[in-house]
């Protein structure tokens, strides 16, 4: 499984025939824009766009990507319906606990502790519950992107049900878990082979580096990604 980080919570995950963009916040993402990576290099060949929730720093360029590539959107029902109204032609709706078969992988929406509305015409619009996502590659590894969340004890059930080997973990604090909570979640509830931090360094009010998380993980190895540099997991 090849994984590339583009800042904040945006990842490209590639295996088999699938090219999945998770939370494609590119335009306006200072981490991504500082790297000066061409937009087309990120989205070219995308088969799916998967969203954890509807906040603008996760929704990002979803409509543009889906229109330009023909990628299928995978999102909770309300969010998918809203984006279909914005011009997304192909979408697979779901909700917490549900699994969708998508060619060479299955995707399951799982719980996340966060909020999920977005501002439309100056008013908050409800866009469904926030979720984490579990991507199980058929014949390959299982990845759990936690989305934006606090630690919660039912993470133990997610591990029991799905046994993810790869964990993408928000660590930036204020809006998600900080270093201490994120490290506790990883060490207490999971047995990840690969731990990848995200949701940091983007804006001044969240943690700027993964250093505190790496320290809190102690002897547990952490893969701190470089923007735009793919790695195997």
pLDDT of amino acid 119? 85
- Tens digits of per-residue pLDDT, 33-74? 999 999 999 999 999 999 999 999 999 999 999 999 999 999
Name the phi and psi angles at 144, rounded to 5: -120, 110
- Only one residue has tokens 């660590």, namely 171
Q: What is the mean pLDDT of the chain?
A: 97
DSSP 153: T
* Mean pLDDT of all residues in 11-27: 98
* Contact assessment for residue 131 and residue 147, using Cβ atoms and an 8 Å cutoff: yes
- Tens digits of per-residue pLDDT, 181-210? 999 999 999 999 999 999 999 999 999 999
- 10 Å Cβ neighbour count for 220? 12
Has this prediction a pTM greater than 0.95?
A: yes
Q: Is it the case that residue 232 has pLDDT exceeding 90?
A: yes
- Tens digits of per-residue pLDDT, 116-146? 998 888 899 999 999 999 999 999 999 999 9
Domain residues for 17?
A: 2-232
CATH code (residue 150): 3.60.15.10
**Number of domains the chain is built from:** 1
């Amino acid at each position: 499984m090849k994984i590339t980080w583009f800042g904040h919570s945006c990842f490209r995950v590639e295996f088999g025939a699938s090219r999945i963009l998770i939370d494609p916040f590119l335009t306006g993402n200072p981490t991504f824009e500082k790297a000066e990576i061409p937009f087309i290099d990120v989205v070219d060949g995308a088969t799916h766009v998967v969203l954890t929730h509807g906040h603008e720093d996760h929704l990002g360029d979803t409509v543009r990507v889906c229109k330009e590539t023909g990628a299928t959107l995978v999102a909770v029902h309300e969010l998918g319906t809203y984006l279909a109204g914005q011009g997304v032609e192909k979408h697979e709706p779901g909700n917490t606990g549900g699994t969708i078969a998508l060619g060479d992988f299955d995707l399951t929406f799982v719980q996340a502790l966060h909020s999920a509305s977005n501002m439309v015409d100056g008013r908050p619009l409800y866009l469904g519950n926030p979720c984490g996502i579990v991507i199980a590659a058929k014949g390959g590894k299982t990845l759990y992107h936690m989305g934006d969340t606090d630690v919660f004890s039912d993470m133990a059930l997610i591990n029991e049900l799905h046994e993810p080997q790869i964990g993408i973990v928000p660590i930036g604090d204020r809006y998600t878990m900080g270093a201490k909570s994120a490290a506790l979640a990883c060490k207490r509830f999971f047995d990840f082979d690969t731990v990848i931090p995200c949701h940091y360094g983007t804006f001044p009010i969240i943690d700027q580096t993964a250093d505190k998380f790496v320290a809190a993980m102690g002897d547990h190895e952490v893969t701190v990604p470089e923007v735009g540099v793919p790695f195997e997991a």
